[in-house]
Amino acid sequence: MTVTFIGHGYVGLVTAAVFADLGNTVWVIGHTPEKIANLKKGIIPIYEPGLEELVKRNVDAGRLQFTLDYKPAIAESDVIFIAVGTPPRPTGEADLSVVFDVARKVGENLAGYTVVITKSTVPVGTNKKVQEIIEKAKNGKALFDIASVPEFLREGQAISDTRHPDRVVIGTESEKAEDILYNLHKPIIEGGKGDKSRLVLTTIESAEMIKYASNAFLATKISYANAIARLSERAGADALAVLEAMGLDKRIGTAFLQPGAGYGGSCFPKDVKALVAIAKDYDYDFGILKEVEEVNKQAMLDIVRKAQEMLDGDLKEKKIGVLGLSFKPDTDDMRDAPSIIIINELLEKGASVRAFDPIALKNAKRILGDARGLSFTESEYDVARDADLLIILTEWNEFRQMDLGKIKMLMKTPRLLDGRNIYSPWQAQELGFSYKGVGR
């Protein structure tokens, strides 16, 4: 099949490369000349493990092409995916202006019969608006159907998630579109059409809702774990033991039940806000999710409170090393990363912060760079030099087995605040560190 992706971010570029790798002819439409020129040379604008090689291989094979021009790509394609960003507006609602703008351009260039899919995360009713926009913009002869195929990949594991998804959700009212989309996704839906555990055929509205409902539920699990951690700290229980035992119950499951410094990233914070805003539009007060947001904010501020406690109540002129800036390991994505709020609070309270991240330094410098009292280093050990306190904010693998003896020697005073619980308290304490984790 010939397929077009509009948007070459974490979703668009990964999915485009995977579909090209399956043998399809894939166009990717962007809107920044420099990025498109780079992509043509195999230089990708984001970090995702394995993606550069996958893109290069498929560009070299002639299956993956990048362009700024809608005309040839849209006219040739059987299927078009809209995979542009849907960031939050100040009110929490998703900003759909780019989705609608590209839908109009798709409409203007349609030829023959095409299935137009919104892959971006969008509120219920958006696909119907996309349909109206395309209907209005297209020439009389062109035919199309719309579908919602939401994306569930995780940054850091995006290629493998795309090749082996837990489920593929196809929401459309057209049998023809459903058939085309089933055939396109067939290689990644193991077990064929009868395997209900992987393929969900549903209405457009349900598909739109499934995505928000899933992300908001995962965020709820994380906040629940953080609330249990908070209570456990007060009551003298070990939250890690509590949550692990809870997770053994098949109805609960262990995933996303780890306490820590809060969730962040480009999806959970904005999708929780958007679902609250969608609910408001339908006169429903989604109180649980407002509490989820509150607990998450508290989880970040708890790191600052603990830093203060470990430094005798005062952060003024204290030197703090921060390990990990991206919102999770194996990505350079800094959008809504807890490190942003935590570092700004530490600086606000008079501390100086030296920070390191294996991959996200460039994005972190762009977002945090000018803050007074903040500097960046090129290695995890440099962060520890002369520090009064070391805080772990992202559980990168390379932080899991650091030479704590060396770190202790480098620090002014050996204090470790483990925001992701990657060290055991006894291990750190045995080496002479004063240690705090989350929920322990």
Ligand X SMILES: NC(=O)c1ccc[n+]([C@@H]2O[C@H](COP(=O)([O-])OP(=O)(O)OC[C@H]3O[C@@H](n4cnc5c(N)ncnc54)[C@H](O)[C@@H]3O)[C@@H](O)[C@H]2O)c1
Which residue in 16, 131, 126, 132 sits closest to 77, CA to CA? 16
The first and second tokens of residue 242, run together, are 């509590």
Which CB sits closer to ligand X, 13 or 387?
A: 13
Residue 83 in contact with ligand X, rule: CB under 6 A: yes
Which CB sits closer to ligand X, 6 or 387?
A: 6
Q: CB of 7: closest distance to ligand X in angstroms?
A: 3
The first and second tokens of residue 354, run together, are 């030296």
Contact 280, 123 (CB under 8 A): no
Q: CB of 101: closest distance to ligand X in angstroms?
A: 5
Q: CB of 188: closest distance to ligand X in angstroms?
A: 15
Catalogue the E-assigned strands of 30-106.
64-67, 79-82
Q: CB of 198: closest distance to ligand X in angstroms?
A: 17
As a whole number of angstroms, the distance between CA 386 and CA 383 comes to 8
Which residue in 146, 134, 147, 140 sits closest to 108, CA to CA? 134
Residue 151 in contact with ligand X, rule: CB under 6 A: yes
Reported as type and span, the H/E element at residue 418 is strand 415-418
Which of positions 244-273 make contact with ligand X (CB under 6 A)? 266-267
As a whole number of angstroms, the distance between CA 127 and CA 416 comes to 49
Helix, strand, coil share of the chain (percent; to 5): 45, 15, 40
Residue 10 in contact with ligand X, rule: CB under 6 A: yes
Contact 333, 403 (CB under 8 A): no
Among the residue ranges 3-11, 176-184, 356-364, 415-423, the one whose residues contact ligand X (CB under 6 A): 3-11
With CB under 6 A as the contact rule, the residue among 31, 56, 57, 385 that binds ligand X is 31
Q: CB of 87: closest distance to ligand X in angstroms?
A: 8
Q: Which residues pair with 25 in a beta bridge?
A: 2
Q: Which amino acid is at 338?
A: P
Task: Give how many residues touch ligand X by CB under 6 A.
Answer: 24
- Phi and psi at 92, nearest 5°, equal 100, -25
Contact 217, 288 (CB under 8 A): no
Contact 398, 380 (CB under 8 A): yes
Residue 55 in contact with ligand X, rule: CB under 6 A: no
> Among residues 96, 122, 267, 341, which one is catalytic?
267
Helices (H), 155-196: 158-163, 175-185
Q: CB of 315: closest distance to ligand X in angstroms?
A: 33
- Phi and psi at 143, nearest 5°, equal -120, 150
Active site annotation includes 226:
no
With CB under 6 A as the contact rule, the residue among 4, 8, 263, 293 that binds ligand X is 8
Residue 7 in contact with ligand X, rule: CB under 6 A: yes
With CB under 6 A as the contact rule, the residue among 80, 84, 389, 428 that binds ligand X is 84
Among the residue ranges 28-36, 56-64, 250-258, 409-417, the one whose residues contact ligand X (CB under 6 A): 28-36
Which CB sits closer to ligand X, 70 or 224?
A: 70
Helices (H), 138-174: 158-163
Binding mask 152-191 for ligand X (x = CB under 6 A): -x-x------------------------------------
Which CB sits closer to ligand X, 48 or 388?
A: 48
Q: Which residues pair with 27 in a beta bridge?
A: 4, 65
Among the residue ranges 24-32, 175-183, 310-318, 344-352, the one whose residues contact ligand X (CB under 6 A): 24-32
Which CB sits closer to ligand X, 319 or 335?
A: 335
Helices (H), 311-354: 338-348
Which CB sits closer to ligand X, 60 or 69?
A: 69
Binding mask 95-134 for ligand X (x = CB under 6 A): ---x--xx-----------------xx-------------
Residue 69's CB is within 10 A of a number of other CB atoms, namely 11
As a whole number of angstroms, the distance between CA 346 and CA 370 comes to 15
* Catalytic residue annotation: 267
Which spans of this chain sit near ligand X (rule: CB under 6 A)? Answer: 6-12, 30-32, 83-86, 98, 101-102, 120-121, 151, 153, 155, 266-267
